Amino acid sequence: MFDTDLGSPAYHMLKLPKVAVLVGRTMGIPDSGEIWYLLDKRFQIPPTLIESTTLTPRELQRYTVIIMADGVPNLTKSSESALKEWVANGGTLIASGKAHAWMNQSGICSIKTVDASFKEDSTAYRMYAEQSEANAGNAISGVILNCTLDPSHPVGWGFDQTVIPVIKDNNIIFKKDANPYASPLRYTSDPVLSGFLSVKNKGLLQNTPTMFAKPYGLGAVIVFADDMNFRSYWFGTSKLFLNAVFFGECLKKENYNY
């Protein structure tokens, strides 16, 4: 179904990515460290770590892929404008976790989320000692969920199976995008594989996107709701992340027509 002949325009010439990871006090320290370790130690492609407050327009031109992990980068207005221009001119921007908020507010990638915050029943009285337990019951703090993967998508390259397990340890839930091709990974209708997930959160998560992958100008943006490199040992989804690094350029408008 997805076969193509040698010499077909469906093939793209890939170049070794030049990767930078935005770090700093507002970024996810564990997540950034996992990415650093994955690229540097496992694949011998050492990324450059850039303090987000020091990012300059000139510095951007050295890289083809920039990653922001689980945090909102503290960028100046000129740096934010330069980063958007860098993507529009052909760069690949990858974000995960809380970094989706920056992607949305910057206008690079419109992302709507489901309100998964905990709301107590204000009409009832509760014991003080039950407060922490009630809050914990609503949290998504380490559950393994089944996701449906589109193996025809560049981010799904090399996968034979269409269902893969993902670790989720946050309450970030994306709403479906208007673009039907932009969500190659999504939670299944019955996602819980292992761990605890409240009935409410299960209902909120069912069939929602785990990620978005879209062109932006001549470049591409890829946004993951979850940590694809969880503690540097969840190898299945690390492959998805690496596909985003290597094949993100296949999403650019001139290559991927949607």
Tokens encoding 200: 């409410």
Q: Is residue 175, in this structure, part of any structural domain at all?
A: yes
The whole domain housing 195 covers 19-111+133-251
Catalogue the E-assigned strands of the chain. Answer: 19-23, 48-51, 65-69, 92-96, 143-149, 163-168, 185-194, 211-216, 219-224
What's the CATH code of the domain at 193? 3.40.50.880
Q: Is residue 208, in this structure, part of any structural domain at all?
A: yes
Q: Are 142 and 227 in contact (CB under 8 A)?
A: no
Task: Please give the Cα distance from 161 to 216 (Å, whole number).
Answer: 29
Q: Are 209 and 176 in contact (CB under 8 A)?
A: yes
Q: Tell me the per-residue pLDDT of 25-41, one tens digit each, with 9 for 90 and over.
A: 999 999 999 999 999 99
Task: Please give the Cα distance from 240 to 227 (Å, whole number).
Answer: 11
Say what the pTM is: 0.91
Q: Is residue 125, in this structure, part of any structural domain at all?
A: no
Q: Is residue 218, in this structure, part of any structural domain at all?
A: yes
Number of domains in the chain: 1
Q: Is residue 13, in this structure, part of any structural domain at all?
A: no
Longest dimension (CA), the chain: 70
Query: In the block, which residue shows the tokens 């740096």?
Result: 79
Task: Please give the Cα distance from 225 to 170 (Å, whole number).
Answer: 8
Q: Tell me the per-residue pLDDT of 89-128, one tens digit each, with 9 for 90 and over.
A: 999 999 999 999 999 999 999 999 998 876 666 677 878 8
Q: Is residue 150, in this structure, part of any structural domain at all?
A: yes
Catalogue the E-assigned strands of 70-130. Answer: 92-96
Q: What is the pLDDT along the chain (258 residues), one digit of tens a residue?
A: 456 677 777 677 788 999 999 999 999 999 999 999 999 999 999 999 999 999 999 999 999 999 999 999 999 999 999 999 999 999 999 999 999 999 999 999 999 999 887 666 667 787 887 777 677 668 898 999 999 999 999 999 999 999 999 999 999 999 999 999 999 999 999 999 999 999 999 999 999 999 999 999 999 999 999 999 999 999 999 999 999 999 998 886 545 444
Tokens encoding 90: 């052909």
23: nearest Cα among 55, 59, 49? 49
Q: Is residue 8, in this structure, part of any structural domain at all?
A: no
Strands 143-149 and 219-224: unpaired
Q: Is residue 124, in this structure, part of any structural domain at all?
A: no
